[in-house]
Each structure stands twice: as C-alpha cells, then as structure tokens.
Amino acid sequence: MSSSPIEFKNPVLKWVEYRLPVFSFIDSSVGGSYPAPRNLNYWWNFGSLAGIILAVMVATGIVLAMHYTAHVDYAFDSVERIMRDVNYGWLIRYIHMNGGSMFFICVYIHMFRGMYYGSYKEPRELLWIIGVFILLAMMATAFLGYVLPWGQMSFWGATVITSMFSAIPYVGDALVTLLWGGFSVDNPTLNRFYSLHYLLPFVLFGLVFVHLWALHVHRSNNPLGVEAREPEDFIPFHPYYTIKDLFGMGVLLIFFLGFVFYAPNFFGEPDNYIEANPMVTPAHIVPEWYFLPFYAILRAFTADFFMYWPVAWLMSAKLAGVLAMFAATLILVLLPWLDTSKVRSNKFRPINKQFFWIFVADCLLLGYIGAKPAEGNFIIIGQIATFYYFFHLVVLVPLIGILERPKPIPESISTAVIKSAE
C-alpha cells in the first residue's frame, strides 16, 4: 500500500504540481494513493452515485434556468415551452425531474447502508451528522424546485409546507408572511424560491466537500465494521473502486434513463400539468414520493393521537405534527449516541439486524400511508407506524445495544476476507 506521493514525468504536470499540488491531491483523494478497505460491497457505491446525480442535476439545472421564467404569469408556459419548443428541452427537463427521485433513492440507500453497517459510530459521528444536513439541504432544494413549474401541486405543496410555520406560537404568522413576501403564495414567493433553488445546490456542494473531507480522515467503514489497519486490509482506491463506481454508474444510468425515456412522469403527479390556481385546491394534495414518510408523520398528529397527549397542554396538534416531522430527520443526528453497541456491523448483531429490517419496513409503511388519504384505518396505521419510528430509534436501539450478545468479531479484515477465501 503506497501512500507516498506519486512522481510525475510529464514536464507540464511537474510544473503545475510544483506550484499547486493538485494532481497529488487528486491521487491521494480518489487515486492510487488513497487506501480503501479491500472488502467494500456494492452498497458502498451509493455515495459516489449520489455525487454523480448531484453533478447531473447542476448541469441540467443550469441549462433549464436559461429557458425558465420565474413569474406567475409565465412560469407554467415557460416550462411547457421547454417541453415543446426548446431543442432537447424535454430531455433535459425529464432528466432533471427524474434526477431528483434518483438522488433520493441513492441517498436513502446510502443512509440505510450506513445504519446497517454502523458507519455512524466512533470516529465517524461527524461524517454521519454532516450527511444528515446534506439530506436536509436536499429536501429543501427538492421542495423549492418542485414549486417552480407552477402547476397545481407546485402551488398547493408550497402553500401547505409554508403554512406549517404558522404553527409556531406568536411569530408564526409573521414568519409565513416573510416567507411568502405577501399574504399568500404568489409572485414574490416564486421569485425567492427560484433564487434559493439555484443557491442551495452550491451549499450542497460545500456540505459534500466537508462530508468527503471527514470521510478521508478515517476512511470508509466496511461490511465487517472492523477498522482497517494492516496494509493487507487495504487496496488502492484507483483502479479498484474507481472502476467499481463506474460500473455502478452504468447500472444506475440504465435505471435512471429507463424512467427518463419510457416512464418520465412515473414519479410525478398529473395535477402538476394543470396551471396553479390559487382559488381551487386539488382533491388530494400529495408530496413527492421521497417526502411521503415525513408527510405521514406530520398527519399522524391529531388531537386523539396518544403521542400528542403528553404535550397537549403545551401546543396544538398541528404544531406537534410539524415538530415531529422535523424531529424525524434531526433525531438521526443523535444516532451515534443512541446506539449503545460497540459492534458496528449488523453482520455480528443477530437481534439488531432483525430490528433494522423492521425499521426499514416501517419507513416504507409510512411512505405508503403518506400517499393515502387521511381517513379511517390509514390514520390508525399511520399513527402506529409513526410511534414505532421513534420507538425504534429512542428506545429499541439503545436497549438492544445493551442487551444483545454480539457474535465474535474477526481480528482484522484481512484475516476474515483473505483466510476465508483460501
């Protein structure tokens, strides 16, 4: 495992390297001088895949911005013009539209991978926490972007989400007026959402940079959760993982472009092809699929929900729902400390492994409930699933860490991987 910087023979590279060591920086970040655990599996592809999607979103977004008009009278028509008249406009917009969904697919898998293999544990807590903030920034960006086409779902999604802030006591209404720049979602709102939608991806880039910086300090976790120490635990990132990431990118692009070309509106809502009308609310307001679990948590909080009772004297059910929705994401910041087990990987945690999958199923169930109307059994199921979400993270995870007896852990990656192969 060579960690000494590489020598350049090319005089131009040499000249630049002497003045700005950019090539050795690349080499030590994603090149042959960056040591990676030798046993990373395909679940480790999704971080780089998310990064690729971010680049695709920025590239297509910059071009879309050249054709889009952020005004309530023109926004919808300008998007239709992109679809019909602008050369390849349909392709660029469909890539951008479906790219949002792909981004969330990659990031959610990336996060569940981190949870399964305990990648958030010491010394990678901050790496994980930065990741949670990346998710928050992504959510904000996606929400703002969805408003821009100015369809019915854009408008009413914006109205519902911004109205949440009115639940805050005392300053709520003033805050919503500040967000809107008026007394309802209107032209000032559209303009500032466009401005922020263009800004936030750069914030995301910054966060991703810090995320990678933290990653490179202690390097990748691995499926065994045993820290890579010996030289034989590592292989160079290039060419082994560059080629693996490229292969993963090929698979992702087949999946991604399959939607773009054959089912471009699969993730969309037909109502968003109706221009925004502030006087008519669509029968069912549904957020994009990646917000559905959080939407279910928001709606679970009604006056008769038992999780609301302890705080009923303090706040309205509406405020409790809004807080719970934000808490559902923010609580992940505490996960490194909620998990009391010293063992990282679920490979060696027989009990926790089962509860991990129940938790995944619970998140999917919340997503299903979020898409259904808030009536009858859907409310009850949504409330139970909401309870379980928090119960898992706050009660089960710490408890299992204490009570569970993990399986024996291998001494090192090389003993586990190489010896078993022999």
What phi and psi values does residue 236 have, to the nearest 5 degrees? -65, 140
Answer whether the bond into residue 236 is a cis peptide, omega within 30°: no
* Residue 71 binds other proteins (CB under 8 A): no
147 vs 156: CA distance, rounded Å: 9
Q: Residue 137: which of 99, 107, 168 has the closest Cα?
A: 107
Binding segment for other proteins among 23-31, 83-91, 95-103, 310-318 (CB under 8 A)? Answer: 310-318
31 vs 239: CA distance, rounded Å: 7
Alpha helices in 67-171 (DSSP H): 75-84, 89-116, 125-147, 152-163
| Among residues 162, 221, 222, 386, the one that binds other proteins under rule CB under 8 A | 162
* Residue 182 binds other proteins (CB under 8 A): yes
* Residue 10 binds other proteins (CB under 8 A): no
The three-class DSSP label of residue 224 is coil
| Among residues 20, 66, 254, 283, the one that binds other proteins under rule CB under 8 A | 283
Candidates 17, 245, 339, 362; catalytic one:
245
Residue 24 or 163 having the CB closest to other proteins: 163
Q: Residue 188: which of 73, 71, 67 has the closest Cα?
A: 71
| Among residues 318, 381, 409, 410, the one that binds other proteins under rule CB under 8 A | 318
* Residue 163 binds other proteins (CB under 8 A): yes
* Residue 372 binds other proteins (CB under 8 A): no
Residue 1 or 303 having the CB closest to other proteins: 303
Q: Are 39 and 415 within 8 A, CB to CB?
A: no
| Minimum separation from the CB atom of position 23 to other proteins (A) | 40
Show the tokens assigned to 75: 């926004």
- Per-position b or e across 77-99, b if 16+ CB within 10 A of its CB: ebbeebbeebeebebbbbbbbbb
| Minimum separation from the CB atom of position 205 to other proteins (A) | 23
Q: What is the DSSP letter of 151?
A: B
* Residue 383 binds other proteins (CB under 8 A): no
Residue 199 or 395 having the CB closest to other proteins: 199
| Among residues 2, 10, 41, 184, the one that binds other proteins under rule CB under 8 A | 184
Specify the DSSP element, H or E, that contains 172. Answer: helix 172-180
Q: What is the CA radius of gyration of the chain?
A: 24
Q: Are 355 and 140 within 8 A, CB to CB?
A: no
Residue 3 or 281 having the CB closest to other proteins: 281
253 vs 257: CA distance, rounded Å: 6
* Residue 238 binds other proteins (CB under 8 A): no
* Residue 250 binds other proteins (CB under 8 A): no
Candidates 121, 197, 244, 392; catalytic one:
244
Q: Are 243 and 32 within 8 A, CB to CB?
A: no
Binding segment for other proteins among 117-125, 210-218, 263-271, 279-287 (CB under 8 A)? Answer: 279-287
Residue 66 or 279 having the CB closest to other proteins: 279
For the window 190-219, what string marks contact with other proteins as x by the rule CB under 8 A? --x---------------------------
| Minimum separation from the CB atom of position 342 to other proteins (A) | 43
Give the torsion sign (CA, 142, 148, 149, 155): positive
* Residue 375 binds other proteins (CB under 8 A): yes
Binding segment for other proteins among 59-67, 120-128, 152-160, 256-264 (CB under 8 A)? Answer: 152-160
Candidates 67, 216, 218, 318; catalytic one:
216
Contacts of 362 (CB under 8 A, 6+ apart): 385, 388, 389, 392
Catalytic positions, written as ranges: 216, 220, 244-245, 288
Residues making contact with other proteins (CB under 8 A) = 156, 159-160, 162-164, 166, 177-186, 188, 192, 278-281, 283-285, 299, 301-303, 316-318, 321, 374-375
